[in-house]
Amino acid sequence: MLYNPFIHVRLDEPKLRFRYNLHQHPRIGLYKYGPYSAYRIREINIKIITERHLDNSIRELIRRLTKGYGRYKGFKETFYLTEEVNINDSDYYSIIVNDENEIEQMYFQVAEEFSSKIGVIVFALRDYLINKFYAKLKALRFKYTANIVRVQLLKESVLRKALLDPLSMEYILWNLSTAIYTKCNGIPWVHYGSILPAGIFIGIAFTKPKLTKEYTSSKEIFCYGVMTIYNKYGIHIDTRVTPIMLQIPKNRPLPKTKGLFIPYNDMKNLLREIINRYNPPIVIIHKSARFHEDEKKAIDHILGNRDIDYVLIHIEGFNPYRGFTNSQLKFTVIRGDLILDREKPNRSILFTTGCTAIESEIKLRKRPGTPRAIELEIEKNMSSFNAETLAQQVLALTKLDWNTTDIEIRMPVTIKYARKASLLASALQVRTIDIRDLMWYINT
């Protein structure tokens, strides 16, 4: 028999808890059983800022958002609200955008109109405006402190696609309504049971570095390091942003974010704050690049000296691994397929995209292209967890992205939302961020 250096394991699709039952698919679970926080949110308050040429289109989308379309039953029925969602002509505001100051002034003007303490302003704008002012738009929420008025971005291309294609309309309505409900402090679903017996997850990301000073033989660069923290259920509980100064040789090009790290003292200070606040017995840290020696030493100093078990996992999204699918489902890749390496037990390949196994039935994927795997490298494991268990945790953490009702989510929230926070880091005025403020625009 030929020696096979690999072991194939098929992990079960994680289950989610809704109001009345469990289900593996976010959208089906919401449709059948209602949101986890059903009846806890009394009302949804929405106002819309849009450009004049999009006025009729956004009104049609909002009408369907409130009343329903296809299997989407409308705001009140889908999310078990105690009051109707009424959006009147006075809730629409037209804007002509020449610069970011006009957007900011309009946001403040509209935010003052909310009578309740929590609301959402939907910006329906041309794609290039949202791309250009993304960080500024998302950071507006922190400049207005009288109430919680969050921002929901909607690109013109997404709006147009929804109005042209009935399937896209229903899909976009599910995602948009779930995002708005969440931003009004709703909880659409949670993981069934704890992902960790106890402890926390941490995700690390960075902003793009900028050159600040040049010396004779070196240069100084500046960036922000971001840590997102999640409890044992995978629920976001904290985000920390810290400024970082690094010196590199003068002839070396500016590193990409993958070449960055949190220096020894900064990492010690961040971890000390987190450990003192949450007192976890186990810490699982995810990073989209390899851990630097400074980071490893600081982690061991803080966690090792307190007898806290920990695991360092490099989650690599850029790799050559692709899966195979066909219409007969023979040899097809299923989300949850895990390839373990006998010769490198600290390494595994996990497919978080592909066909899905829902209630023991394999469903064909509807997306084009071949499924892409993520590579997991366990750089240090001071816990009792093996590679399969750690991969199961990563798979579970892909299910807790409230920005979409899709099931095929490639990256865990630990990595995805640390990256989202890094995009906003330079514009933020606070150190602690709610994950609801990191949810981005709706994709098709």
Distance CA 80, CA 373 (A): 37
Element (H, E) at 175: helix 166-183
Closest to 292 in 3D by CA, of 246, 238, 242: 246
Q: What is the pLDDT of residue 434?
A: 80
Q: What is the pLDDT of residue 362?
A: 86
Q: Mean pLDDT in runs of 10 for the chain (444 residues)?
A: 86 96 97 96 93 97 96 96 91 91 92 85 96 88 83 96 95 96 96 96 92 90 91 93 88 85 94 96 96 97 95 94 70 90 95 90 81 96 97 98 94 93 70 76 68
> How far from 136 is each of 130, 139, 153, 163, 424, CA to CA, in Å?
9, 5, 12, 28, 8
pTM: 0.93
pLDDT digits (tens, 9 = 90+) for 20-64: 999 999 999 999 999 999 999 888 999 999 999 999 999 999 999
pLDDT digits (tens, 9 = 90+) for 87-97: 999 999 999 99
Place of tokens 């199961």: 392
* φ, ψ of residue 120 in degrees (nearest 5): -130, 130
Distance CA 248, CA 250 (A): 6
> Is the Cβ–Cβ distance between 151 and 141 less than 8 Å?
yes
Q: What is the pLDDT of residue 92?
A: 97
> How far from 396 is each of 24, 105, 195, 281, 384, CA to CA, in Å?
11, 41, 7, 20, 19
In a 13 Å sphere around the CA of 321, the CA atoms on its Cβ side amount to: 19
Q: What is the pLDDT of residue 53?
A: 96
Q: What is the pLDDT of residue 96?
A: 92
Q: What is the pLDDT of residue 242?
A: 86
